[in-house]
């Protein structure tokens, strides 16, 4: 189902931001517990810098520059330090991370997204850290925005969710009905497939295997078998 909100399909920032916003909405609906620590730290640094700037203005307005110049100098130094820390935090700690959370089984997931100038490709880097081994595993995707935006600029959730569930076993386990089965090119490809993905595919198709199945019953008065389709 397409969203009622429309965006400019030629605006790469809008395409990315809308897709970024859809990630927590989808994962949280699957009972993932989102971790807001990165965002909270960024907001704390940003608001602290704002408070320092506001305090400088207030001191100067009420007491005058001469009587508060040393306080103002100290505040400017702190403001510069806070902005430097904020820049470092965004560029080297967050590194494009738009979602951090924990799956119902305790596995941690972190998702970072990015785009390149004038290239309408959504790059997704998904880091999975199992609770048992605590060794991170990385999955990288690069998909065009046209796969989940229509020509009018409506975001379509189902194909976006299908891409994630099919590519990420942790998400497939939580949302098997969104897993898209792909035919294996050989027996070895099927055997090497991720067990969670295979389980998810089996779960998503279990309700449909009985429909349309054919059974063979002996034809009356003969040794031949006739085929009868179930209703």
Report if residue 201 sits inside a domain: no
Q: Which helix (H) or strand (E) holds 154?
A: strand 154-156
**107 and 178 part of one domain:** yes
Note whether residue 199 is domain-resident.
Answer: no
Whether residue 79 contacts residue 50, with contact meaning beta carbons closer than 8 Å, is answered with: no
48 bridge partner residues: none
pLDDT at 203: 60
Q: Could you read off the pLDDT tens digit of each residue along the chain, which spans 231 residues? A: 566 788 998 999 999 999 999 999 999 999 999 999 999 999 999 999 999 999 888 888 888 888 888 888 898 999 999 999 999 999 999 999 999 999 999 999 999 999 999 999 999 999 999 988 889 999 999 999 999 999 999 999 999 999 999 999 999 999 999 998 654 443 344 444 455 555 655 565 554 454 444 444 444 444 444 444 444
Domain's final residue, options 138, 160, 182: 182
Q: How confident is the model at residue 160, as a pLDDT?
A: 97
pLDDT score at 185: 42
Residue 218: what pLDDT?
46
> Does residue 188 lie in a domain region?
no
Domain assignment of residue 120, yes or no: yes
Number of folded domains in the chain? 2
**What is the spatial distance between Cα 166 and Cα 178, in angstroms, rounded to a whole number?**
7
- 166 and 78, same structural domain? no
Dist. CA 91–CA 146, nearest whole Å? 28
Which of 215, 218, 126 has its CA nearest to residue 168? 126
Helix, strand or coil, per DSSP, at residue 71:
helix
Instruction: Judge contact between 82 and 45, C-beta under 8 A.
Output: yes
Judgement on whether residues 10 and 120 belong to the same structural domain of the protein: yes
The answer to whether residues 113 and 171 belong to one domain is yes
Please indicate, yes or no, if residue 218 is contained in any of the structural domains.
no
58 and 164 share one domain = no
Question: Containing domain of residue 167, as a range?
Answer: 2-32+103-182
> Same domain, yes or no, for 120 and 175?
yes
Q: Are both 26 and 55 inside the same structural domain? A: no
Phi-psi map region of 96: left, alpha, beta (phi>0 left; psi -120 to 50 alpha):
left
> What's the CA gap between 209 and 203, in Å, rounded?
11
Last residue of a domain, one of 52, 67, 94: 94
- Same domain as 149, residue 112: yes
Under DSSP, the state recorded for 149 is B
Q: Which residues have CB under 8 Å from 76's CB, separation 6+?
A: 56
Residue 6 resides in a domain? yes
138 in any annotated domain? yes
- 223 occurs within a structural domain: no
Report d(CA 50, CA 106) in Å as an integer.
37
In a shared domain, residues 70 and 8: no
Judgement on whether residues 89 and 112 belong to the same structural domain of the protein? no
pTM for this model (two decimals): 0.73
* Integer Cα distance of 112 and 136 in angstroms: 14
Q: How many other CB atoms are found less than 10 A from the CB of residue 147?
A: 12
Q: Verify that 85 and 107 share a domain, yes or no.
A: no
- DSSP lists the bridge partners of residue 96 as none
Residues 166 and 81 reside in one and the same domain: no
Q: What pLDDT, on the 0 to 100 scale, is given for residue 189?
A: 44
- Distance, in Å, from the CA atom of 55 to the CA atom of 48, rounded to the nearest integer, reads 11
What radius of gyration, in Å, describes the C-alpha atoms of the chain? Answer: 27
Last residue of a domain, one of 166, 182, 198: 182
Cα of 141 vs its chain's centroid, Å: 11
């Amino acid at each position: 189902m397409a969203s009622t909100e429309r965006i400019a399909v030629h605006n790469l920032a809008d395409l990315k931001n809308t897709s970024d916003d859809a990630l927590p909405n989808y994962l949280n609906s699957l009972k993932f517990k989102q971790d807001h620590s990165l965002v909270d730290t960024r907001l704390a640094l940003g608001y602290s810098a704002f408070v320092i700037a506001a305090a400088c203005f207030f001191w100067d307005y009420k007491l005058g520059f001469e009587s508060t110049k040393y306080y103002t100098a100290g505040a400017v130094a702190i403001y510069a330090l806070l902005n430097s820390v904020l820049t470092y935090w965004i560029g080297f700690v967050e590194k494009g991370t738009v979602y951090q959370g924990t799956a119902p089984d305790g596995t941690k997931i972190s998702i970072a997204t990015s785009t390149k100038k004038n290239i309408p490709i959504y790059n997704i880097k998904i880091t999975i850290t199992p609770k048992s081994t605590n060794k991170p595993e990385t999955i990288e995707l690069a998909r065009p925005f046209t796969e989940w935006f229509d020509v009018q600029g409506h975001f379509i959730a189902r194909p976006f969710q299908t891409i994630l569930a099919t590519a990420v076993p942790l998400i497939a386990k939580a949302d098997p009905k969104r897993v898209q089965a792909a035919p294996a090119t050989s027996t070895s490809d099927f055997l090497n497939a991720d067990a969670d993905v295979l389980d998810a595919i089996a779960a998503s198709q279990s309700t449909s295997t009985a429909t349309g199945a054919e059974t063979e019953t002996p034809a009356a008065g003969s040794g031949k078998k006739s085929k009868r389709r179930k209703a």
